Amino acid sequence: MLRDKSLIPLSRQHQHALALCVRISRAHLSTPAELKAWQSEVEQHFALEIQYHFAAEEEHLFPTARRYGDLGPLVDELVAEHARLRKYFARAKARELEGPELRQFAETLSTHIRKEERQLFEEMQKHMTAEELATIGERVEGTLAAAPQACITPTEQTLNTQET
């Protein structure tokens, strides 16, 4: 199913995070310097994008999805996964992740993203009206707009502003 335009900003950020996951899974993690560099990148990715992404989902997407009873258990899973992922991000910031844990982080994040894309977003698009999705999209954009604009791919709002 094509992604509704209201969810595209989140899907774009998912692509950024998946790219990070692929790069980590392919990386050499054999020296302390390599581990430190990757943990620094994970920390930066959280600070510049993922913390805002999680906030947008938790404040706007998940509460709306929860109104559809069959999505409640999935939302509960995703919220728990956000908590687990935040612990990984905190450990990366403290430079406490060893190579296997860093790879496990990448696998956990990748699995989480695919669950959101393939299950949550698909079901939301089936259940919700265009108006509900548009409202979510506006609120999500507002939250994502708080993210720093340095060294990250521009949000939909930034792209749209530059086009006009």
8: tokens are 């595209």
Total of domains in the chain? 1
Mean pLDDT of 69-79: 95
Yes or no: say if 139 and 150 are a contact pair by the CB < 8 Å rule: no
Per-residue model confidence as pLDDT tens digits over 16-73: 999 999 999 999 888 999 999 999 999 999 999 999 999 999 999 999 999 998 999 9
Q: How far apart are the first and last CA of the chain?
A: 29
Is 13 inside any structural domain? yes
Is 164 inside any structural domain? no
Q: How far apart (Å, rounded) are the C-alpha atoms in residues 16 and 59?
A: 21
Is 20 inside any structural domain? yes
Range of the structural domain that residue 87 is part of: 8-145
Is 161 inside any structural domain? no
Dihedral sign, CA of 50, 3, 109, 25? Answer: negative
Q: Provide the b/e sequence for 56-67 (b: ≥16 CB within 10 Å).
A: bbeebbbebbee
Is 52 inside any structural domain? yes
User: Strand runs (DSSP E) across the chain, as ranges?
Assistant: none
Is 63 inside any structural domain? yes
Q: How far apart (Å, rounded) are the C-alpha atoms in residues 158 and 26?
A: 31
| Whole-prediction pTM | 0.87
Is 56 inside any structural domain? yes
Is 121 inside any structural domain? yes
Residue type, 22: V
Q: pLDDT-derived band of residue 91, with 50, 70 and 90 as boundaries?
A: very high
Per-residue model confidence as pLDDT tens digits over 94-136: 999 999 999 999 999 999 999 999 999 999 999 999 999 999 9
